[in-house]
Structure 1
């Protein structure tokens, strides 16, 4: 289907029927028609693309447009403009006039398009007005601004709400990924230990019977003292893995020569404690040659069982720590506004992002006796997550992340410093703008730093600044220590 060509008369009638141009005089309409360039869009034909420089203001005469953006590799529909739905009530409060024009926001901010617009349905006719013509339109046709400004205000507010929702989803996704990765190790340890514990207990019972049948009273006392001493040993210090492997081999060879049934199990258990053959021989004095194999098998079973139960004991608190850190990070069971130590949120963020920080040295530089803040810790945790996550990506698995916190001039100052590739000088003034990103296409929404800026400046009446050169990027957050009542709070997304 092809749209009928627009004659100047039909174009004049179509433009005058729009709310945007309804109040124009005859002379203004004559000028508008003279600068209008009708264009027909086919289904799916692109009007403008995300990231392209904004060059035109577009007015929709008939048909529809669909506005999309690629977020994390997926194309999402941001909004639709349709002349058929213009009079319908929108659930999100979209003004009727907003269906009829697009492109004014990036023109006014001298930026680029932040989404892609394409035809929705055939015979969609759009009129494109270049930047100089658009600004002349605002000065010549005063009634245009009266319609355009409320739509502009709604779009800015709508983009903020969408930014908060997307950034919240990003933060929850980061939280879920970090939690899943961190829970994998203790959960796997629990599963493995639970699976191996039953046969280990069977071996312990069997070797106990054999040892009891072979040993005399004095020999039992020797082994009882040895197992008690092993239970009280402190965790071994970091040792040379080559030396430990040599000790384990020597222990296994000796245990096999004595006739032990599981020499490898005994050798691994003893060497893992940082012990050698000489230490074991000294403490086994008094056990006869005939009873020694049964003693070694029982000792191996004891060490195996203790190692498995130690894994279970270590995994439980680790899981509890992760759950507690996640609860505190998300601020799930507390009032939204509260007094809190800022370092708690920083530490919980490090726990959540531990997997992304693998290979990166983390340095904490917290001043002692820091005062507590009054605010919204759950929202600030989104800030810490964005800043630390960006720093980790910039360092690509190698470098130093430094977190600093200090009280200064009535404010809490938190600094996130990384030794990564840095932010390009040309990009630095724009990093807090919505949808602006220096990451590759599909790897970022450009909302994280914008949301962080809003949370810090409007929710907490603070400031967020950045300075960067290659190898030295510093994001500095200043938060008032004394509570204050924001006059322009960010609308909170659900």
Structure 2
């Protein structure tokens, strides 16, 4: 493109429309026109930002790989029809330039831009030229800054939507993982209940026919004793297996139909053969097999019932935690306890915390706060998830909550690899990330920062060294006007769980 045609094309752009002839002449002299083939990459996500790019013709598609998936962030087009397709309030000027954000933040490109169409022409302005442009051509900033503000806001909205979808995905995965055991227990108990009831009926009839009144009284006393028996305080799997085998062998010698079922039922209660021999005294040898078969059927039914009793509340607890985490059917602003959100977050992320020790240090008697618990749950999820990733499957996650002056303080610390000292001052900046390209958006901590500081008038800070990273969130106890704070919950003697 000859200088005259380039000057005319640049003058027609909104960003350069207010420039004087002298400024346009300078701009042409420092321009670096470039024609891109369809699909040719202009710059890549993660590369050092080297220039500001102006689109003269054709189009650009801007994409980003997030957790292994390539997502289209936006499209730039010089065609009016293409620009008219935007429904997110994108300014018309935003279609005609890109690359200013990483230059202004002294960072790398935060996405990949590639040509869309066979005739895409861009003009590049290297970093020094871009800053000279802002100094020499004052009209450029008047157009560039509103577009920059829209881009940051748009990116945050996209990140919030993505975070919501990811949170729902995490919630679904965590819930499915946690429901697996109790649901499997319910399914197994339901499947085994019908044949177990048939065995109970059959053995009851056989026992009734074989036993005398005195012998029935012996078994009735044993059944009542089993009802009142507390669960074993400790379980030694080897000792239990030995007891089960010993009881089964003895029962087989007496002629019991299912000696293994009897052995398992008695050993599961923490009992041994000696206990059983004492209780069956008074039952004659002819009726003993029927008595033991009926006892085995009773223990089987009671074991299945116990599984159902344990699984039901566990499922209810998980559903309750899920409801509280998502704050379904609740007003956006409400009174709540922060530790409830922390505990629900641990439930949701339990599969990611496997192998990590969790230490809770919740001060007792903390007041409730008024705010937006569902938004704070996004903060806790982000911080805990980052901590789990930093520990790579093993370490200690510590949650502390305390009152400090007029604030509630929530600390989430981990024993992971830490945050590099050079990165620590920038971790709350938009698009800044210490993760590899394609892992994360660089907006998670920024959104957490916005939720804490703007929605709840609090603060969030970070301290880190290898082996210890501590994220500290302070939330005001008294609600500020037109906004909501956050919540906290009890701290007591630290307890450790896995």
Short-chain TM bin: over 0.9
Cα shift readout 1:99-148 (whole Å, capped 9, x = no counterpart):
10001111111111110000001120100101110111111111111111
1:221 has 2:236 as partner:
no
Partner of 2:490: none
Displacement of 1:450: 1.6
Q: Counterpart in 2 of 1:179?
A: 175
Is residue 2:22 matched to residue 1:27? yes
Which of 266, 286, 293 is the equivalent residue of 1:290? Answer: 286
Q: CA deviation at 1:445?
A: 2.7
> Do the aligned partners of residues 118 and 320 (structure 1) sit closer, same or farther apart at CA in structure 2, a change above 3 Å counting?
same
Alpha carbons 2:371, 2:483 under 8 Å: kept: no
Work out which of the residue numbers 66, 70, 73 in structure 2 matches 1:75.
70
- Equivalent position to 2:354, from 358, 363, 386: 358
Instruction: State the distance in 1 between where 2:483 and 2:429 align.
Output: 21
**Per-residue displacement from partner, 1:130-180 (whole Å, max 9, x unpaired)?**
111011111111111111122112112111211211122222211111111
Q: Secondary structure at 1:210's aligned position in 2? A: helix
Write the distance in 1 (CA, Å) between the matches of 2:389 and 2:461.
19
Shift of 1:203: 0.5
CA distance in 1, matches of 2:300, 2:440: 48
Matches within 5 A, 1:438-477: 438-477=434-473
Q: 1:87 to 1:261 in 2, by over 3 A?
A: closer
Q: 1:488 to 1:405 in 2, by over 3 A?
A: closer
Q: In the alignment, does 2:197 pair up with 1:196?
A: no
Contact map agreement 1:167 1:451 (CA 8 A) in 2: no
1:485 aligns with 2:447: no
Question: Which of 304, 310, 315 is residue 319 of structure 1 equivalent to?
Answer: 315
1:397 to 393, 402, 412: 393
Instruction: Name the counterpart of 1:39.
Output: 34
Task: Choose the corresponding residue for 2:5, options 7, 10, 15.
Answer: 10
Is residue 285 of structure 2 the alignment partner of residue 274 of structure 1?
no
Q: Report the equivalent of 1:142.
A: 138
Runs of at least 5 residues in structure 2 that lack an aligned partner in the other structure: 486-498
Structure 1 residues 329-386: Cα deviation after superposition (integer angstroms, max 9, x where no partner): 1111211111111111111111212222222221111111101111101111111111
Is the partner of 1:38 in helix, strand or coil? Answer: strand
Q: Matched residue of 2:270: which SS?
A: coil
Q: 3-state DSSP class of the match of 2:172? A: helix
- What residue in structure 1 maps to residue 227 of structure 2? 231
How far, CA to CA, are the matches of 1:436 and 1:143 in structure 2?
29
Give the whole-Å Cα distance in 2 for the aligned partners of 1:74 and 1:318: 35
How much has 1:488 moved relative to structure 2? 12
Deviation of 1:486 (Å):
5.2
**CA–CA distance in 1 between the matches of 2:429 and 2:23?**
35
Cα distance in 2 for partners of 1:263, 1:145 equals 87
Residues 1:212 and 2:208 aligned together = yes
Distance 2:356 2:13 in 1: 58
Alpha-carbon contact 1:54-1:112 (below 8 Å) kept: yes
Native 8 Å contact 1:386 1:452 kept in 2: yes
CA distance in 2, matches of 1:448, 1:98: 24
Cα distance change of structure 1 residues 122 and 472 upon mapping to structure 2, 3 Å threshold: same
- How far apart are residue 63 of structure 1 and its match? 0.1
* SS of aligned partner of 2:471: strand
Which residue of the other structure, out of 158, 177, 198, is the alignment partner of 2:154? 158
User: Which residue of 1 is the match for residue 495 of structure 2?
Assistant: none
- Of 248-257 and 422-431, the range deviating more from structure 2: 422-431
Q: Determine the C-alpha separation between the residues in 1 that align with 2:198 and 2:232.
A: 28
Q: 2:90 aligns with which of 91, 94, 98?
A: 94
- 1:89–1:252 CA distance, 2 compared to 1 (3 A): closer
249-258 or 390-399: bigger deviation = 390-399
- TM-score, scaled to structure 2: 0.95
Q: Does 1:309 align with 2:321?
A: no
The 3-state SS of whatever aligns with 1:13 is helix
CA distance in 1, matches of 2:189, 2:437: 44
State the distance in 2 between where 1:7 and 1:218 align: 115
C-alpha displacement of 1:425: 2.1
**Structure 2 counterpart SS, 1:51:** coil
State whether structure 2 residue 349 is matched by structure 1 residue 346.
no
Q: Does the 8 Å contact 1:458/1:486 carry over to 2?
A: no
Q: TM-score, normalised by structure 1?
A: 0.95
Measured in 1, the distance between the counterparts of 2:374 and 2:453 equals: 15
The count of aligned residue pairs is 484
- Secondary structure of the residue that 1:406 maps to in structure 2? strand
Measure the CA separation in 2 of the matches of 1:63 and 1:144.
22
In structure 1, stretches of 5+ residues that fail to align are: 1-5, 490-494
Q: Give the Cα separation in 2 of the matches to 1:431 and 1:180.
A: 32
Which residue matches 2:426?
430
Partner of 2:410: 414
How far is 1:87 from its partner?
5.5
| Contact 1:383–1:455 (8 Å) recurs in 2 | yes
